[in-house]
Amino acid sequence: MGVLYVFLTLYFVWTDQAYFSLASIGLLAIYFAIYYTDYVFLALAFFTPLSINIEEYTDSFGLFIPTEPLLFGIMVLLLMMQVRKEIFPKEIWKNQILWAVAFYIFWIFITSITSSSPGVSFKFLLARLWFMVPLLLYGPMIFRKEKNISLFMWLYSVGMIIAILYTLIVHASYGFGEKEGHWVMWPFFKDHTIYGAMVAFTVPMIFGLYFSKKHSPLIQAVLMSFIAINLIGLYFSYTRAAWLSIFAAVGVWGLIHFKIKFSLIAGVTAIIGLFLFFSWDSIQMDMAKNKSEHTTEEFGERLQSATNVTTDASNLERLNRWSCAISMFEERPVFGFGPGTYAFEYARFQEPENTTIISTNFGDAGNAHSEYLGPMAEMGLIGLISVLLIVAAIFYKAITLYNNWPVEEKEMRILILAMILALVTYFVHAFLNNFLDTDKAAVPIWGFCAAFIALEMKLNRKIN
Protein backbone atom coordinates (compact mmCIF):
# COMPACT_ATOMS: atom_id res chain seq x y z
CA MET A 1 0.00 0.00 0.00
CA GLY A 2 2.84 2.36 0.86
CA VAL A 3 4.53 1.74 -2.51
CA LEU A 4 1.20 2.26 -4.30
CA TYR A 5 0.69 5.56 -2.46
CA VAL A 6 4.13 6.83 -3.50
CA PHE A 7 3.57 5.87 -7.15
CA LEU A 8 0.14 7.54 -7.24
CA THR A 9 1.50 10.74 -5.68
CA LEU A 10 4.40 10.85 -8.16
CA TYR A 11 1.98 10.24 -11.02
CA PHE A 12 -0.27 13.14 -9.96
CA VAL A 13 2.74 15.45 -9.63
CA TRP A 14 4.14 14.32 -13.01
CA THR A 15 0.80 14.89 -14.77
CA ASP A 16 0.44 18.30 -13.10
CA GLN A 17 -2.72 17.31 -11.22
CA ALA A 18 -1.89 19.49 -8.23
CA TYR A 19 -5.17 19.07 -6.37
CA PHE A 20 -4.90 15.27 -6.37
CA SER A 21 -1.29 15.40 -5.23
CA LEU A 22 -2.22 17.81 -2.43
CA ALA A 23 -5.08 15.52 -1.42
CA SER A 24 -2.72 12.56 -1.25
CA ILE A 25 -0.30 14.56 0.90
CA GLY A 26 -3.23 15.53 3.12
CA LEU A 27 -4.22 11.88 3.56
CA LEU A 28 -0.64 11.04 4.51
CA ALA A 29 -0.65 13.86 7.07
CA ILE A 30 -3.90 12.57 8.57
CA TYR A 31 -2.44 9.06 8.84
CA PHE A 32 0.64 10.29 10.69
CA ALA A 33 -1.43 12.64 12.90
CA ILE A 34 -3.56 9.69 14.08
CA TYR A 35 -0.92 7.00 14.48
CA TYR A 36 2.22 9.06 15.17
CA THR A 37 0.80 12.11 16.93
CA ASP A 38 3.90 12.63 19.09
CA TYR A 39 6.17 12.83 16.06
CA VAL A 40 3.78 15.16 14.24
CA PHE A 41 3.67 17.46 17.27
CA LEU A 42 7.47 17.66 17.46
CA ALA A 43 7.72 18.09 13.69
CA LEU A 44 5.64 21.26 14.03
CA ALA A 45 8.68 22.92 15.60
CA PHE A 46 10.72 22.27 12.44
CA PHE A 47 7.97 23.17 9.98
CA THR A 48 6.92 26.41 11.68
CA PRO A 49 9.79 28.66 10.47
CA LEU A 50 9.39 27.13 6.98
CA SER A 51 5.60 27.26 6.70
CA ILE A 52 4.05 29.22 3.84
CA ASN A 53 0.86 31.26 3.87
CA ILE A 54 -1.31 30.15 0.92
CA GLU A 55 -2.94 33.60 0.92
CA GLU A 56 0.10 34.75 -1.06
CA TYR A 57 -0.96 32.43 -3.89
CA THR A 58 -4.75 32.15 -3.64
CA ASP A 59 -5.82 35.72 -2.72
CA SER A 60 -8.64 34.17 -0.71
CA PHE A 61 -7.93 33.28 2.90
CA GLY A 62 -4.82 32.99 5.02
CA LEU A 63 -3.65 29.51 6.09
CA PHE A 64 -0.12 28.50 6.97
CA ILE A 65 0.84 25.19 5.36
CA PRO A 66 1.58 22.62 6.76
CA THR A 67 1.38 23.82 10.38
CA GLU A 68 -2.19 25.09 10.75
CA PRO A 69 -3.91 22.05 9.20
CA LEU A 70 -1.81 19.81 11.44
CA LEU A 71 -2.67 21.87 14.53
CA PHE A 72 -6.36 21.85 13.63
CA GLY A 73 -6.27 18.10 13.07
CA ILE A 74 -4.56 17.47 16.41
CA MET A 75 -7.13 19.68 18.14
CA VAL A 76 -10.06 17.74 16.65
CA LEU A 77 -8.39 14.42 17.47
CA LEU A 78 -7.78 15.48 21.09
CA LEU A 79 -11.38 16.62 21.54
CA MET A 80 -12.69 13.32 20.15
CA MET A 81 -10.41 11.34 22.47
CA GLN A 82 -11.35 13.52 25.46
CA VAL A 83 -15.07 12.93 24.84
CA ARG A 84 -14.48 9.19 24.80
CA LYS A 85 -12.13 9.04 27.80
CA GLU A 86 -10.30 11.45 30.09
CA ILE A 87 -6.80 11.73 28.57
CA PHE A 88 -5.36 14.78 30.36
CA PRO A 89 -3.86 14.42 33.86
CA LYS A 90 -5.97 16.21 36.47
CA GLU A 91 -3.00 18.16 37.83
CA ILE A 92 -2.63 19.98 34.50
CA TRP A 93 -5.73 22.05 35.30
CA LYS A 94 -4.06 23.52 38.40
CA ASN A 95 -1.52 25.52 36.39
CA GLN A 96 -2.01 29.31 36.44
CA ILE A 97 -0.90 29.64 32.80
CA LEU A 98 -3.89 27.55 31.73
CA TRP A 99 -6.20 29.56 34.01
CA ALA A 100 -5.03 32.82 32.42
CA VAL A 101 -5.38 31.40 28.89
CA ALA A 102 -8.86 30.02 29.70
CA PHE A 103 -9.98 33.47 30.89
CA TYR A 104 -8.54 35.03 27.72
CA ILE A 105 -10.40 32.53 25.50
CA PHE A 106 -13.61 33.06 27.49
CA TRP A 107 -13.40 36.82 26.98
CA ILE A 108 -12.70 36.38 23.25
CA PHE A 109 -15.93 34.35 23.07
CA ILE A 110 -17.94 37.01 24.93
CA THR A 111 -16.60 39.87 22.82
CA SER A 112 -17.15 37.86 19.63
CA ILE A 113 -20.86 37.87 20.44
CA THR A 114 -20.86 41.67 20.88
CA SER A 115 -18.47 42.22 17.95
CA SER A 116 -19.10 44.70 15.16
CA SER A 117 -18.18 41.80 12.81
CA PRO A 118 -19.11 38.50 14.55
CA GLY A 119 -17.96 36.41 11.58
CA VAL A 120 -14.46 37.88 11.75
CA SER A 121 -14.33 37.51 15.53
CA PHE A 122 -15.45 33.88 15.67
CA LYS A 123 -12.93 33.04 12.96
CA PHE A 124 -10.32 34.74 15.18
CA LEU A 125 -11.49 32.62 18.12
CA LEU A 126 -11.23 29.39 16.10
CA ALA A 127 -7.69 30.28 15.01
CA ARG A 128 -6.69 30.95 18.62
CA LEU A 129 -8.16 27.61 19.68
CA TRP A 130 -6.23 25.55 17.15
CA PHE A 131 -3.03 27.24 18.26
CA MET A 132 -3.63 26.99 22.01
CA VAL A 133 -5.51 23.72 22.56
CA PRO A 134 -3.03 21.31 20.89
CA LEU A 135 0.06 23.09 22.20
CA LEU A 136 -1.05 23.81 25.78
CA LEU A 137 -2.99 20.59 26.43
CA TYR A 138 -1.19 17.97 24.37
CA GLY A 139 2.23 19.64 24.71
CA PRO A 140 2.65 18.82 28.43
CA MET A 141 2.04 15.15 27.64
CA ILE A 142 4.82 15.24 25.04
CA PHE A 143 7.20 17.14 27.31
CA ARG A 144 6.86 14.69 30.19
CA LYS A 145 9.95 13.23 28.56
CA GLU A 146 12.53 15.96 29.17
CA LYS A 147 14.51 14.98 26.07
CA ASN A 148 11.54 16.11 23.96
CA ILE A 149 11.99 19.67 25.23
CA SER A 150 15.53 19.90 23.92
CA LEU A 151 14.42 18.09 20.73
CA PHE A 152 11.66 20.69 20.22
CA MET A 153 14.24 23.46 20.62
CA TRP A 154 16.65 21.73 18.25
CA LEU A 155 14.00 21.26 15.57
CA TYR A 156 12.79 24.85 15.76
CA SER A 157 16.38 26.14 15.67
CA VAL A 158 17.24 24.02 12.61
CA GLY A 159 14.12 25.26 10.82
CA MET A 160 15.02 28.87 11.64
CA ILE A 161 18.63 28.39 10.49
CA ILE A 162 17.38 27.11 7.12
CA ALA A 163 15.07 30.14 6.82
CA ILE A 164 17.89 32.51 7.83
CA LEU A 165 20.35 30.96 5.34
CA TYR A 166 17.77 31.27 2.57
CA THR A 167 17.16 34.91 3.50
CA LEU A 168 20.86 35.75 3.67
CA ILE A 169 21.54 34.15 0.27
CA VAL A 170 18.70 36.08 -1.38
CA HIS A 171 19.68 39.26 0.47
CA ALA A 172 23.32 38.88 -0.60
CA SER A 173 22.23 38.86 -4.25
CA TYR A 174 20.94 42.41 -3.63
CA GLY A 175 24.07 43.54 -1.81
CA PHE A 176 22.34 43.39 1.61
CA GLY A 177 20.38 46.52 0.75
CA GLU A 178 18.09 47.99 3.42
CA LYS A 179 15.05 48.23 1.16
CA GLU A 180 15.42 44.65 -0.06
CA GLY A 181 15.85 43.59 3.58
CA HIS A 182 12.12 44.21 4.08
CA TRP A 183 10.99 41.33 1.83
CA VAL A 184 13.87 38.91 1.05
CA MET A 185 12.61 36.47 3.72
CA TRP A 186 9.47 35.80 1.64
CA PRO A 187 7.76 33.28 1.32
CA PHE A 188 8.70 31.96 4.76
CA PHE A 189 8.07 35.28 6.53
CA LYS A 190 5.78 38.11 5.47
CA ASP A 191 8.26 40.91 6.22
CA HIS A 192 11.36 41.80 8.18
CA THR A 193 9.52 42.68 11.42
CA ILE A 194 8.20 39.18 12.17
CA TYR A 195 11.38 37.65 10.73
CA GLY A 196 13.54 39.79 13.03
CA ALA A 197 11.34 38.98 16.02
CA MET A 198 11.71 35.23 15.55
CA VAL A 199 15.44 35.44 14.76
CA ALA A 200 15.86 37.29 18.08
CA PHE A 201 13.66 34.66 19.76
CA THR A 202 16.02 31.93 18.52
CA VAL A 203 19.22 33.56 19.84
CA PRO A 204 18.77 32.57 23.54
CA MET A 205 17.52 29.15 22.45
CA ILE A 206 20.71 28.26 20.55
CA PHE A 207 22.94 29.67 23.30
CA GLY A 208 20.96 27.54 25.77
CA LEU A 209 21.47 24.40 23.71
CA TYR A 210 25.19 25.15 23.46
CA PHE A 211 25.79 25.71 27.19
CA SER A 212 23.31 23.15 28.52
CA LYS A 213 25.77 20.26 28.49
CA LYS A 214 29.12 19.10 27.16
CA HIS A 215 28.65 18.19 23.50
CA SER A 216 30.84 16.25 21.12
CA PRO A 217 33.21 18.39 19.01
CA LEU A 218 30.93 17.97 15.98
CA ILE A 219 27.79 19.15 17.82
CA GLN A 220 29.76 22.04 19.32
CA ALA A 221 30.88 23.11 15.85
CA VAL A 222 27.31 22.86 14.55
CA LEU A 223 25.93 24.98 17.40
CA MET A 224 28.70 27.56 17.04
CA SER A 225 27.89 27.86 13.33
CA PHE A 226 24.20 28.21 14.28
CA ILE A 227 25.08 31.05 16.67
CA ALA A 228 27.10 32.83 13.98
CA ILE A 229 24.37 32.45 11.34
CA ASN A 230 21.71 33.55 13.83
CA LEU A 231 23.57 36.72 14.81
CA ILE A 232 24.34 37.59 11.19
CA GLY A 233 20.67 37.06 10.36
CA LEU A 234 19.68 39.29 13.28
CA TYR A 235 21.96 42.09 12.12
CA PHE A 236 20.76 41.99 8.50
CA SER A 237 17.10 41.79 9.54
CA TYR A 238 17.32 45.58 9.98
CA THR A 239 14.70 45.25 12.72
CA ARG A 240 15.31 47.74 15.53
CA ALA A 241 12.79 46.17 17.90
CA ALA A 242 14.50 42.79 17.53
CA TRP A 243 17.89 44.27 18.38
CA LEU A 244 16.47 46.07 21.42
CA SER A 245 14.71 42.89 22.59
CA ILE A 246 18.08 41.12 22.76
CA PHE A 247 19.42 43.84 25.05
CA ALA A 248 16.31 43.39 27.21
CA ALA A 249 16.92 39.63 27.37
CA VAL A 250 20.54 40.21 28.46
CA GLY A 251 19.27 42.55 31.19
CA VAL A 252 16.78 39.95 32.44
CA TRP A 253 19.53 37.30 32.37
CA GLY A 254 21.59 39.53 34.67
CA LEU A 255 18.67 39.97 37.07
CA ILE A 256 18.06 36.21 37.25
CA HIS A 257 21.71 35.16 37.30
CA PHE A 258 22.66 37.54 40.09
CA LYS A 259 19.40 36.85 41.96
CA ILE A 260 18.38 40.48 42.24
CA LYS A 261 15.43 40.78 44.64
CA PHE A 262 12.05 41.70 43.22
CA SER A 263 11.67 44.53 45.74
CA LEU A 264 14.86 46.15 44.40
CA ILE A 265 13.69 45.72 40.79
CA ALA A 266 10.30 47.26 41.66
CA GLY A 267 11.99 50.17 43.46
CA VAL A 268 14.34 50.97 40.59
CA THR A 269 11.46 50.67 38.11
CA ALA A 270 9.38 53.11 40.18
CA ILE A 271 12.26 55.61 40.31
CA ILE A 272 12.77 55.38 36.53
CA GLY A 273 9.03 55.80 36.02
CA LEU A 274 8.97 58.95 38.17
CA PHE A 275 12.01 60.33 36.38
CA LEU A 276 10.35 59.79 32.98
CA PHE A 277 7.11 61.35 34.22
CA PHE A 278 8.71 64.55 35.49
CA SER A 279 11.22 64.80 32.63
CA TRP A 280 8.82 63.95 29.80
CA ASP A 281 8.76 67.46 28.30
CA SER A 282 12.53 67.64 27.97
CA ILE A 283 12.65 64.05 26.67
CA GLN A 284 10.11 64.95 23.98
CA MET A 285 12.25 67.95 22.98
CA ASP A 286 15.31 65.72 22.65
CA MET A 287 13.31 63.18 20.63
CA ALA A 288 12.09 65.97 18.34
CA LYS A 289 15.74 66.83 17.56
CA ASN A 290 16.48 63.23 16.57
CA LYS A 291 16.55 63.04 12.76
CA SER A 292 18.09 59.55 12.46
CA GLU A 293 16.22 57.46 9.88
CA HIS A 294 15.55 53.73 10.04
CA THR A 295 16.47 53.48 6.35
CA THR A 296 20.18 53.76 7.14
CA GLU A 297 22.18 50.53 7.15
CA GLU A 298 24.48 51.66 9.99
CA PHE A 299 23.72 49.83 13.24
CA GLY A 300 24.12 52.74 15.63
CA GLU A 301 22.06 55.16 13.56
CA ARG A 302 19.25 52.62 13.18
CA LEU A 303 19.10 52.19 16.97
CA GLN A 304 19.01 55.98 17.41
CA SER A 305 16.15 56.16 14.90
CA ALA A 306 13.97 54.15 17.31
CA THR A 307 13.26 57.42 19.17
CA ASN A 308 12.81 59.59 16.06
CA VAL A 309 9.16 60.65 16.20
CA THR A 310 9.63 63.67 13.92
CA THR A 311 10.63 62.38 10.49
CA ASP A 312 10.78 58.56 10.71
CA ALA A 313 7.66 57.34 8.84
CA SER A 314 7.75 53.89 10.43
CA ASN A 315 7.73 55.31 13.96
CA LEU A 316 5.08 57.90 13.10
CA GLU A 317 2.80 55.30 11.54
CA ARG A 318 3.14 53.13 14.63
CA LEU A 319 2.10 56.10 16.77
CA ASN A 320 -0.84 56.60 14.40
CA ARG A 321 -1.95 52.97 14.92
CA TRP A 322 -1.58 53.29 18.69
CA SER A 323 -3.59 56.51 18.68
CA CYS A 324 -6.34 54.76 16.72
CA ALA A 325 -6.33 51.85 19.18
CA ILE A 326 -6.70 54.22 22.13
CA SER A 327 -9.53 56.11 20.38
CA MET A 328 -11.29 52.82 19.63
CA PHE A 329 -10.97 51.84 23.28
CA GLU A 330 -12.41 55.17 24.39
CA GLU A 331 -15.45 54.62 22.18
CA ARG A 332 -16.01 51.02 23.34
CA PRO A 333 -14.12 50.55 26.64
CA VAL A 334 -15.97 47.45 27.90
CA PHE A 335 -16.33 44.99 25.01
CA GLY A 336 -14.29 46.70 22.30
CA PHE A 337 -15.06 46.31 18.60
CA GLY A 338 -14.52 42.55 18.60
CA PRO A 339 -11.50 40.23 18.25
CA GLY A 340 -9.73 40.57 14.92
CA THR A 341 -11.65 43.69 13.86
CA TYR A 342 -8.98 46.37 14.32
CA ALA A 343 -7.91 46.32 10.66
CA PHE A 344 -11.52 46.86 9.58
CA GLU A 345 -12.32 49.65 12.01
CA TYR A 346 -9.27 51.84 12.63
CA ALA A 347 -9.48 53.92 9.43
CA ARG A 348 -12.14 56.33 10.71
CA PHE A 349 -10.16 56.93 13.91
CA GLN A 350 -7.11 58.29 12.08
CA GLU A 351 -6.51 61.96 12.81
CA PRO A 352 -5.16 64.01 9.86
CA GLU A 353 -2.22 65.26 11.93
CA ASN A 354 -1.24 61.64 12.76
CA THR A 355 -1.30 60.19 9.25
CA THR A 356 1.97 59.57 7.42
CA ILE A 357 3.16 58.89 3.90
CA ILE A 358 2.55 55.17 4.50
CA SER A 359 -0.94 55.59 6.00
CA THR A 360 -3.97 54.51 3.97
CA ASN A 361 -7.33 56.25 3.98
CA PHE A 362 -9.08 52.88 3.89
CA GLY A 363 -7.15 51.58 6.90
CA ASP A 364 -6.29 48.34 5.13
CA ALA A 365 -2.61 48.17 6.05
CA GLY A 366 -2.56 45.90 9.07
CA ASN A 367 -2.98 45.73 12.82
CA ALA A 368 -2.38 47.86 15.91
CA HIS A 369 1.34 47.04 16.05
CA SER A 370 1.07 46.10 19.72
CA GLU A 371 0.23 42.82 21.44
CA TYR A 372 -1.27 44.90 24.25
CA LEU A 373 -3.07 47.85 22.62
CA GLY A 374 -4.62 45.62 19.94
CA PRO A 375 -6.63 43.52 22.44
CA MET A 376 -7.53 46.70 24.33
CA ALA A 377 -9.13 48.18 21.20
CA GLU A 378 -10.77 44.90 20.17
CA MET A 379 -11.82 43.49 23.57
CA GLY A 380 -11.88 46.46 25.92
CA LEU A 381 -10.11 46.87 29.25
CA ILE A 382 -10.74 43.26 30.29
CA GLY A 383 -9.15 42.12 27.03
CA LEU A 384 -5.97 44.03 27.89
CA ILE A 385 -6.03 42.65 31.44
CA SER A 386 -6.43 39.08 30.11
CA VAL A 387 -3.29 39.45 27.96
CA LEU A 388 -1.30 40.95 30.86
CA LEU A 389 -2.44 38.07 33.09
CA ILE A 390 -1.09 35.56 30.57
CA VAL A 391 2.28 37.34 30.39
CA ALA A 392 2.46 37.61 34.20
CA ALA A 393 1.51 33.93 34.65
CA ILE A 394 4.10 32.77 32.11
CA PHE A 395 7.02 34.61 33.70
CA TYR A 396 5.92 33.94 37.28
CA LYS A 397 5.68 30.18 36.68
CA ALA A 398 8.83 30.05 34.52
CA ILE A 399 11.10 31.99 36.90
CA THR A 400 9.71 30.11 39.92
CA LEU A 401 10.38 26.85 38.09
CA TYR A 402 13.96 27.91 37.34
CA ASN A 403 14.62 28.90 40.96
CA ASN A 404 13.16 25.65 42.34
CA TRP A 405 14.67 23.25 39.81
CA PRO A 406 17.41 21.05 41.33
CA VAL A 407 20.81 22.71 40.90
CA GLU A 408 22.46 19.39 40.06
CA GLU A 409 20.23 19.04 36.97
CA LYS A 410 22.22 21.67 35.11
CA GLU A 411 21.02 20.87 31.58
CA MET A 412 17.35 21.47 32.25
CA ARG A 413 18.02 24.58 34.36
CA ILE A 414 19.91 26.16 31.47
CA LEU A 415 17.20 25.20 28.98
CA ILE A 416 14.52 26.71 31.25
CA LEU A 417 16.55 29.93 31.44
CA ALA A 418 16.98 29.93 27.65
CA MET A 419 13.22 29.60 27.16
CA ILE A 420 12.59 32.45 29.62
CA LEU A 421 14.99 34.75 27.78
CA ALA A 422 13.52 33.80 24.39
CA LEU A 423 10.07 34.73 25.71
CA VAL A 424 11.50 38.03 27.02
CA THR A 425 12.61 38.94 23.49
CA TYR A 426 9.10 38.34 22.17
CA PHE A 427 7.05 40.06 24.88
CA VAL A 428 9.35 43.10 24.82
CA HIS A 429 9.01 43.16 21.03
CA ALA A 430 5.24 42.82 21.55
CA PHE A 431 5.03 46.45 22.71
CA LEU A 432 5.81 47.41 19.10
CA ASN A 433 4.34 44.55 17.04
CA ASN A 434 1.93 41.63 17.39
CA PHE A 435 2.45 38.21 15.81
CA LEU A 436 0.63 35.73 18.05
CA ASP A 437 -2.02 35.36 15.36
CA THR A 438 0.57 33.55 13.20
CA ASP A 439 2.12 30.12 13.63
CA LYS A 440 5.61 31.67 13.53
CA ALA A 441 5.21 33.06 17.06
CA ALA A 442 2.34 30.99 18.46
CA VAL A 443 3.95 27.54 18.08
CA PRO A 444 7.23 28.25 19.93
CA ILE A 445 5.64 30.50 22.58
CA TRP A 446 2.76 28.18 23.52
CA GLY A 447 5.13 25.25 23.09
CA PHE A 448 7.45 26.70 25.73
CA CYS A 449 4.45 27.29 28.02
CA ALA A 450 3.56 23.61 27.62
CA ALA A 451 7.12 22.72 28.60
CA PHE A 452 6.83 24.84 31.76
CA ILE A 453 3.55 23.10 32.66
CA ALA A 454 5.08 19.65 32.15
CA LEU A 455 8.19 20.49 34.17
CA GLU A 456 6.14 21.97 37.02
CA MET A 457 4.06 18.78 37.24
CA LYS A 458 7.26 16.74 37.34
CA LEU A 459 8.81 18.99 40.00
CA ASN A 460 5.67 18.76 42.15
CA ARG A 461 5.83 14.96 41.97
CA LYS A 462 9.45 15.07 43.14
CA ILE A 463 8.59 17.36 46.05
CA ASN A 464 5.59 15.25 47.06
pLDDT in tens, 2-60: 444 445 444 544 555 544 445 555 556 666 666 678 899 999 999 999 999 887 666 66
Which percentage of the chain shows pLDDT scores above 70? 82
Arithmetic mean of pLDDT, 62-80:
86
Q: Is the predicted pLDDT of residue 224 greater than 50, yes or no? A: yes
Higher pLDDT, 155 or 11: 155
pLDDT at position 272 is: 74
Looking at the predicted structure, is the pLDDT value of residue 218 above 60?
yes
Domain limits, the chain:
96-464
Over 50: is that where the pLDDT of 114 sits? Answer: yes
pLDDT of residue 33: 64
Give the number of residues written for the chain.
464
213: pLDDT confidence band, cut at 50, 70 and 90?
very high
Banded model confidence at residue 253, pLDDT cuts 50, 70, 90 = very high
pLDDT at 189: 95
Q: What is the pLDDT of residue 13?
A: 46
| Statement: residue 342 has pLDDT above 90 | yes
At residue 412, does pLDDT exceed 80?
yes
Give the confidence band of 354 by pLDDT, cuts at 50, 70, 90. confident
User: Given this model, what pLDDT does residue 312 score?
Assistant: 65
Q: What is the pLDDT of residue 244?
A: 92
pLDDT of residue 6: 44
pLDDT band at 366 (very low <50, low <70, confident <90, very high): confident
Q: What was the pLDDT predicted at 5?
A: 42
Instruction: Tell me the mean pLDDT in the region 217-226.
Output: 96
User: What is the model's pLDDT at position 4?
Assistant: 45
Question: What pLDDT is attached to residue 300?
Answer: 53
pLDDT tens, 282-337? 655 555 555 555 555 555 555 455 555 555 677 788 888 999 999 999 999 999 99
Q: In which band, very low, low, confident or very high, does the pLDDT at 119 lie, cut at 50, 70 and 90? A: very high
pLDDT at 1 over 60: no
The angle formed by the CA atoms of residues 268, 271 and 272, to the nearest 5 degrees, is 85
Q: What does the pLDDT look like over 169-199, one tens digit per residue? A: 999 999 999 889 999 999 999 999 999 999 9
Instruction: Decide if pLDDT at 88 tops 90.
Output: no
